[in-house]
Amino acid sequence: MKQQGWTWARQEIAGLDAQVDYHRIAQLSFSTRYGTPIFLHALFSVAFVHNVGMPAMAKILYRDGRGPILRDTRRRNFDSLSFFGELYRHGDGPETRAIAQHLVRVHSNFPIDNAMSLYTLSTLCCLPQRFSERYLGRHGIAAKESQAQFLFWKQIGGLMQIKDIPSTADALLEWMTDFERREMRPSAECTRITEALAHEWASYWLPRPLQPLGRGVFYSLIDPELRERLQLPRPSRFSRALTTLLVTLFFHGKRLLPDPAERHFADYFRQGARKGFGTDLLNPPERAR
């Protein structure tokens, strides 16, 4: 489809069926419309915090302080972001199947059970919608785009051999929040990894004098109930207010500003990775998620 007009991506999405065209809708929505690198970098890093709220997962990633998420946080983060971007690019194509098969083999080397994998999947399926509703209520991500996101990641979960995936987004969200109440607990590993993620995000996007404020914004982005459950630092009132303002402006800007040209955020983060360390997404190393 020729990309023209102020709302070309939204117009294409409007003409698609989420039950059939979920990959294309997810691609247009999360890679093109919302694919601003600073936003996706924050969103996926916050999703990582959710995952290390599971003490067993935190231990696997921490590895007595030797895990890549601590030794080279940016490399680990950019590798993961590039990997996710390639999934959005290729959908259920052979490249995605190759990545999924490799990751299944890699994950088999660690004590990751199905419930842990399903929770990780739920952060990818549900967190964008939870995030937008937290700040904008029903005026956040459109229902069709959210449904496509769920169906897209549900398909990826099947390729990853994750079992017992709920059949609807609402059912998965209910399972997710119940799992958080039952399983999320504070740990030294979770605290250290979250500190590393906050520092990495703030140091990448902000000059040194503003980085403490950036870390406050990062902690503000974490779901307040989960942040309290994990006993993570509570950001200042100013940081929380600033975060609300920035997120609200971001989502409203997406409504008022023109849709950008089609893009794939894997390109941005892979380019960033190559500046210092490189990555091969079709043959992901063991550090990949």
* pLDDT (0 to 100) of residue 283: 31
* pLDDT (0 to 100) of residue 285: 32
Domain of 92, in residue numbers: 13-257
Task: Please check whether residue 162 lies inside any domain of the structure.
Answer: yes
* pLDDT (0 to 100) of residue 286: 33
Number of domains forming the structure of the chain = 1
* pLDDT (0 to 100) of residue 109: 80
* pLDDT (0 to 100) of residue 2: 53
Give the C-alpha separation, 274 to 277, whole Å. Answer: 5
Q: What mean pLDDT value characterizes the chain? A: 90
Nearest alpha carbon to residue 20 among 126, 108, 152: 152
Task: Please check whether residue 273 lies inside any domain of the structure.
Answer: no
* pLDDT (0 to 100) of residue 289: 30
Task: Please check whether residue 263 lies inside any domain of the structure.
Answer: no
Task: Please check whether residue 4 lies inside any domain of the structure.
Answer: no
* pLDDT (0 to 100) of residue 103: 82
The 10s digit of each residue's pLDDT in 35-71 is 999 999 999 999 999 999 999 999 999 998 888 999 9
- Spans of the chain, pLDDT less than 50: 1, 276-289
pTM: 0.89
